[in-house]
Structure 1
């Protein structure tokens, strides 16, 4: 649906409802009285992403478009790309201190400030995107995260998911866990702490520095996002082995982090619109990645990338390492422990359920695809 179509439909619905009211009362209204009473509000949103990543950066832009449209232009959010107002990794800080009213970011970027920030974004070896959405919207995940965020003067709503990410680009083939020993890998935050237990040496690099570091051999591997976003950076030219899955990011969730004081100043109707728009963008972003990644992966393979699954011993070691880290963090951080323990019952139920109809259906369809019948 185009923006024009969406606007025309909304005008039609508004006109139709007003026409019905006018016919009933014998009066003609120029515009909805509710809309006339609402204030004009202008916000700034700092994104953690560059404009070149139009999918994930676009989640903030789509939110702003939906909010502006739903309020007849009275609630305007201007989105700034990483570096335009503040560095990308400082976007959440800017929302906390009121430099901006809002940040479009990922909670685990603030891992260094408080490890509990990661719980609202993604914990390695936990949910996939559907399970994460179910827990967030019906299992209390959003409320649990916002309880933690209050002390950081923030409230957050999910606003985008990439789905399970890829495990990254490697200069040399990984044949087993022994090949992870001493591997210098661009990976940060909670994921870095986990793979460190596998012998990996985590490196923190900005997106623009990854390619030259791989090319020169300064690093041996790098994780980014998935096929569509990775394709833009050309990693397959210098690190052809493309491993999957990125078990540290099964359901990485972009958040709309809002300064709590500014949120409380909003009229209730604007709060409702912002929550609803965030939910719509959360689903829309995942759908966009799901649509674009399949063809991007085919193009990458045609240009030299070699997609490969991680060896089983690497996968198992990664899972065990994640649980060791969660035990360590739970002993150190009460908020992390509270949020981790809260999601565990549904995590078990989700993958119990997923083994039934969904998994069986998907497996059957994958067999048909391999047999060339789709």
Structure 2
């Protein structure tokens, strides 16, 4: 081949490459289409911790996709009731939700294992189980039949035991107590005399004010102060043994998620992981300030009596044994979860517990 022929051949190849680039550009654009989803929250927009996390999630997804994947977020009650988020994602009313899995224990108690069960894992342990202990895989395997998939999207840390209109001095004081309580904790407290009710956050204050409820738990000092519970129930008990580290989840319609480009699915997961970290940090700062504010308003802090904790622990173990024997889906997740709990508790007792106990006692003694 002479020099001129070589140049002509090279030019042809070069032109072909340029044409390939020109053709590839629209194909690339088509792989990142403009998509708009709707997300319902199980929380009112007055709670900047919980509802605000959904807004951060939507912004992050938009930022990661150069504004091509947008998610409109709606507070509880605007599109569907707060406790109907799962149904709305299942039937395609919305593509996504920000919710807590234990809200749906009426469908199957196994839902609670994804978020929190009485005397379960704290926030760090919960994240360890979900991300590296097989938890996410187990929960999403369970959810396949519901047509949804989830990612951890927040944790409140250990919650408060709730607001009571009267003092609780022993298990006997729980007889006939009407209490708003989430998850399977109501089933644990029922043998102790508690009449459990499950209400969305925005419905709790009116029920407590009217006396329809005698007590309620929600989250912790910051959210509870915003919701005004201290105005109608002066006794604030701790801890919420039923929620040592409850996970809040982002839930997606499985079919709709599968239709997304891979980069958009990665954006959903990355945004959820960011919100999971940010929410816990946000609560730790805001609760520190809010508990002081509440005490300054006359709120009376009380520790739950030991006999209440002991009775509840015994009741929880009986319930778990019953579910293990009667519910294969529960057993498939609970048994490995229980083994994980035992092992990580052993580790936390070695360093975390001894360090925290000593440091907290010294700090308290210096005040």
Give the TM-score, by structure 2 length. Answer: 0.89
2:79 to 71, 77, 85: 85
Matches within 5 A, 1:6-155: 36=29, 37-155=31-149
Query: Are 1:247 and 2:234 counterparts?
Result: no
Which residue of the partner structure matches residue 260 of structure 2? 266
Q: Distance in 2 between matches of 1:276 and 1:143?
A: 17
- How far apart are residue 204 of structure 1 and its match? 3.3
Deviations 1:333-360 (A, max 9, x none): 2111111112111101111111122122
Deviation of the 1:294 alpha carbon: 0.9
User: CA–CA distance in 2 between the matches of 1:35 and 1:343?
Assistant: 43
Task: Indicate how the Cα distance of structure 1 residues 126 and 35 shifts in structure 2: closer, same or farther if over 3 A, else same.
Answer: farther
User: For residues 191-210 of structure 1, what are the structure 2 equivalents within 5 Å?
Assistant: 191-210=185-204
Q: Does structure 2 conserve the Cα–Cα contact (< 8 Å) formed by 1:47 and 1:81?
A: yes
Deviations 1:191-247 (A, max 9, x none): 111110211111334434433433343322111111000001222222111111111
Query: How far apart in 2 are the matches of 1:247 and 1:284?
Result: 23
Correspondent of 1:236 among 216, 230, 233: 230
Tell me, which stretches of 5 or more residues in structure 1 are unaligned? 1-28
Give the drift of 1:35. Answer: 7.4
Pair 216,79 (structure 1): closer, same or farther in 2 beyond 3 Å: closer
Alignment of 1:316-327 (within 5 A): 316-327=310-321
Give per-residue Cα distances to partners, 1:232-276, cap 9 Å, x unaligned.
122222211111111111111111110010111111222122112
Aligned to 1:357: 351
Q: In terms of Rg, which structure is larger?
A: 2
Q: How many aligned residue pairs are there?
A: 343
Select which of 171, 176, 179 maps to 2:170: 176
Distance 2:274 2:205 in 1: 34
Q: Is the 8 A contact 2:117 2:183 kept in 1?
A: no
Matching residue of 1:295: 289
CA–CA separation in structure 2 for the residues paired with 1:96 and 1:213: 30
Distance 2:172 2:136 in 1: 39
**Which whole-Å CA distance do the structure 1 matches of 2:139 and 2:124 have between them?**
18
8 A Cα contact 1:163 1:289, kept in partner: yes
Alpha-carbon spacing, 1:209–1:92, altered in 2? closer, same or farther (3 Å): closer
Structure 2 Cα separation of the partners of residues 119 and 239 of structure 1: 30
* C-alpha spacing 1:159/1:128, structure 2 compared with 1 (3 Å): same
Q: How big is each residue's C-alpha offset from its partner over 1:14-51, in whole Å with a ceiling of 9 and x where there is no partner?
A: xxxxxxxxxxxxxxx9xxx7974522221111111110
Does the CA contact (< 8 Å) of 2:43 and 2:201 recur in 1? Answer: no
- 5+ residue gaps, structure 2: 1-20
SS of residue matched to 1:124:
coil
Partner of 2:11: none
1:281 aligns with 2:275: yes
Q: Please, which moves more after superposition, 265-274 or 297-306? A: 265-274
Where 2:330 maps in the other structure, the secondary structure is helix
2:207 maps to 213
Map of 1:339 onto structure 2? 333
Q: Note the C-alpha offset of 1:69.
A: 0.6
Distance 2:264 2:203 in 1: 40
2:251 is paired with a residue whose SS is strand
Distance 2:228 2:258 in 1: 44
User: Distance between the aligned counterparts of 1:153 and 1:50, measured in 2?
Assistant: 25
**Aligned-partner Cα distance in 1 for 2:364–2:144:** 50
After TM superposition, the structure 1 stretch with the greater mean CA deviation from structure 2, 51-60 or 182-191, is 182-191
Q: TM-score, normalised by structure 1?
A: 0.87
